Chain A
C-alpha cells in the first residue's frame, strides 16, 4: 500500500457550541423536564457537545408549535412562497456545505470525502428538488383523485408530521424527511438520532438564517423515549420513520387504530449479484462501494454478495486485493475510505454478529490494517462459505461486513436474493441487457442497481418491499407520504 501524508480537513470551519437546547418555535430553548446527554466523536471518543434531552412536555410544546405554525402560517401560505423558503434553505446549505460536512464527519465518523462529496450535495439537491414541487402539487398526479366521494379536490397537506431519523446519514435523512413535508405544506417536529444530533441543530440555525417562520421546523433531541413520545402524541397527523425494522414494527403497532399516516424506511439485507460475464474490476468496485460505503452503515448496503460459481475464485481474489487498499482511519483525512463505527453499541453489535458468523462455520477474512487506539473501529471483513441459514446471511449487520455466497443459474440467484424478509435494494452485475431486465423484474426490492450500486438522487424514489417498510422517499412518489391522498 502506498504511504500517504496525513491530509486532514480543517476543523476550524465549524464552531461547535458547548451545549445545545431544543429548537422549538424558531428558537433554542432549555428542556423543561428532561436532562442532557453528550454527543461524542466516535473517532476519538471526545465529547463534542452537551445536548438537551426532550421529555414528554417538551415534545408536547414542539407539537403545539408545529400545529400553530401549520394552521396560522405554513398551511395557508401560497405554494410559491413555501418554495422560496425551501430554495433559500437549499442555497444556504450549499453556501455552508463544508462546515456541515466537517460537522457531520465529526459527529458521525464517516469519511470527509463521503460527507463532502455525497451527503452534502444530495442534501442541497433534495431541498432544491422539493422546493419546486411546493407550487405544483396539483400537477403531481394526485389532484384529481377523489377521496371519500369528493372528487376533483387539490391535494392537501396532512398537517403536522412527526419524523424520527437514524444516525447513518444524519443530515441527508433530515433532508429526505423535511423537504417533501414542507413542500407539501406540512410542519414538522423532527427527532435526530441521539448519537448524531449536531448537524440537525446546525440545520435549525439555517432555518433561522432563512427566516423560516417559527414553528414550521422543530427539532427535539433525545433517545428512544423522546421518539416514542413524539410518534404517540395525539396531535400528530403523520409519522415518518427511518431506522431498524424492530423499531418500525413498534411504531406500526403504536399508530394502529389512529388516523396517523405512516411511512417506514427500515432495514435491508441486499443481494449484490455478480454474473460470470461481468467486468471483474467494475464489479469489485461496486461490491466495495456496496458494503464499505459509510462503514456499511447503510440500510440498502449490498451485504450479501452472490457470485456465480464459475467466477468465484477470480472475483474473490480481486476483491481481497482491492480491500487491502482501503484506508481505515481519521474521518477528517481526505484519503480515508472507511471511518469510525458510529457508536460503541453499534460496534458491539457488529462484533457479536461477526463472532456468530465464525462460530457458525463461515470463514472470516480481513486485510491487514492498523486501527486507531481510541474510538470505535472495525476492519473491513468478508465471510466466505456462508449459507442462507447463517445468521450473517439473514440479519442486518449494519457494518463493514460482507457475506459471500455462490449460485449457478439466474433462477437460483433470484431465489437466493429474494430469500429474506427484507426487500430494500439489490445489485446486478452482467453485460447482458436482457438478463438485467429479467432479473430486475423478479427481484423483490424497491431499488435495483444494475452495474452500479448505492446511487441516490432526489428525483428517484427510494424505499422497500416487505419488511423493509412502506412508502417511498424521493421523486413525485415521495410527495404522497405528505399529502392527504
Chain B
C-alpha cells in the first residue's frame, strides 16, 4: 500500500474576509513554500476593504468586539498544532492566545479609563471619549512571527480600527495561518487584511495612501525606510508609531500604549439649563 499523498496548502493573501492570490500573479519562496508576493494593487485593495469595514466594526458595541476577540483566542487554542508545526514555539502560541484574551477585555474598558467627564468652569456637560482613528497600516515585527503579529494587530482592532498588516517578510506562514483563524472567528471581513511580501515594496504605498489614518512601523528595521515612510505619512498627517528604539520583549506586559496611540479623543459639550 502506498503512502498517502498530502494535500498541500496554498498560502494566499487575506483581504476583505477572502483569500485571494496576489493580483500580480507573483510569489516568493519561504521554507520551500510559495507565498503570495503582494503588489501595490493588493495594498490598495486591502485599504479599500479595511475602509469599508470601519463603519460596521467601529459601530459595533464594545461588548460585541470583546466577544469576537475572545473568540479569536478560542479558535487559536484549537489550532495550536498548526502553529507548532510551522515552528512556532509552544510557549509563544500560548502567549499569543493569552494576548487575544487580554486585549478582548479592554474593548469595554478603554472609554472608562481614557475618557471621562471634564469639570469645566461653566454650566456645561462636557465629556471626552476615545474613538478609533480609522484604517491602520501595520508592518508586523520580523522577530516574532505569531506573538509579535498578534501584539500589533489586537491593540489596533480592539477599539474599532481596521488594519492592513504586512506580515514579516521572512516569516509569513504563521501569519497566513492566523488569518485563517481570524476568518473563522466571526471577525467581519475587512477588519484585518493581511499581506505577504516585501516591506520596501508595499509599505510606501500604504504610507502615502490618503485613506489610511495611521501607520505602525514596528516591523521596519531599516532606519532609512522607516524615515521615508514617516515622511510619506506626513502628507496626510497620519498618526505614526515609530519603530522601537531597541529589541522588544514580546512576552512582557504590553501596556496600553499601542491602543492609545491609535485612538482619537472626542469631546462633546452641551449647555445645562432648566
A and B form one complex:
yes
Chain A interface residues toward B at CB < 8 A: 125, 141, 145-149, 151, 245, 248-250, 252-253, 256-257, 259, 264, 266, 421, 436, 440, 445-452, 455, 457, 459-463, 465-467, 469-470, 472, 475-477, 480, 485
In this assembly, does B124 line the interface, its C-beta being within 8 Å of a C-beta of chain A? yes
Q: A146-B252, A149-B248, A447-B269 are in contact. Are A457 and B122 (CB under 8 A)?
A: yes
Q: Within 8 Å of chain A (Cβ to Cβ): is B213?
A: yes
B7 within 8 A of partner (CB)? no
25 A–B pairs (Cβ distance < 8 Å), ordered by A = A125-B121, A148-B245, A148-B248, A149-B249, A249-B235, A253-B231, A253-B234, A257-B227, A447-B266, A447-B267, A448-B266, A448-B269, A449-B269, A450-B270, A451-B270, A455-B122, A455-B269, A460-B126, A461-B128, A463-B265, A469-B237, A475-B118, A476-B116, A480-B260, A485-B257
Query: Contact between B237 and A252 (Cβ–Cβ < 8 Å)?
Result: yes
Contact A257 B223 (CB under 8 A): yes
| In contact, B233 and A252 (Cβ under 8 angstroms) | yes
Q: Is A452 in contact with B270, judged by CB distance below 8 angstroms?
A: yes
Total residues of chain B contacting the partner, CB 8 A: 47
Residues from chain A with Cβ under 8 Å of B116 in the complex: 476
8 Å CB interface, B238-268 against A: 239, 242, 244-246, 248-249, 252-257, 260, 264-268
Chain B neighbourhood of A252, CB < 8 A: 230, 233-234, 237
Q: Are A465 and B248 in contact (CB under 8 A)?
A: no
Total A-B Cβ pairs within 8 A: 124
In the bound assembly, the distance between CA atoms of A451 and B245 in angstroms comes to: 46
Whether A450 contacts B268 by the Cβ 8 Å rule is yes
User: Whose C-beta in chain A lies nearest to the C-beta of B213?
Assistant: A466
Shortest Cβ gap from A288 to chain B (Å): 16
Is B208 positioned at the interface, with any CB of A under 8 Å from its CB?
A: no
* Closest Cβ–Cβ distance, residue A117 to chain B (whole Å): 13
Is there an interface contact between B234 and A249, defined as CB atoms closer than 8 Å? yes
Closest 9 CB pairs of A and B: A257-B227, A252-B234, A256-B230, A457-B120, A256-B231, A146-B255, A459-B118, A253-B234, A460-B118
CB-defined contacts of A141 to chain B, threshold 8 Å: 113-114
Residues of A within 8 A of B218 (CB): none
Contact between B265 and A477 (Cβ–Cβ < 8 Å)? yes
Tell which of B121, B239, B255, B267 touches A147, judged by Cβ atoms closer than 8 Å: B255
A248 to B267, CA, bound (A): 22
Question: A457 to chain B: which residues have CB within 8 Å?
Answer: 118, 120-122, 124, 126
- Is the beta-carbon distance between B269 and A459 smaller than 8 angstroms? no
A122 closest partner in B (C-beta): B121
CA distance A455 to B126 in the complex (A): 10
Please determine whether B119 and A459 come into contact, CB atoms closer than 8 angstroms. Answer: yes
B113 A148 Cβ-Cβ under 8 A: no
Q: Is A465 touching B133 in the complex (CB atoms < 8 A)?
A: yes
Given A264-B237, A446-B266, A448-B266, are A460 and B255 also a contact pair (CB < 8 Å)? no
Contact of B264 among A149, A250, A446 (CB under 8 A): A446
Query: Which residues on A sit within 8 Å (CB–CB) of B248?
Result: 148-149
- A94–B101 Cα distance when bound, in Å, is 52
* B227 with A256: CB separation less than 8 A: yes
Q: Mark B123-153, 1 if CB is under 8 A from A, else 0.
A: 0101010000100000000000000000000
Whether A257 contacts B230 in the complex (CB less than 8 A), given A436-B270, A446-B266, A450-B269, comes out as yes
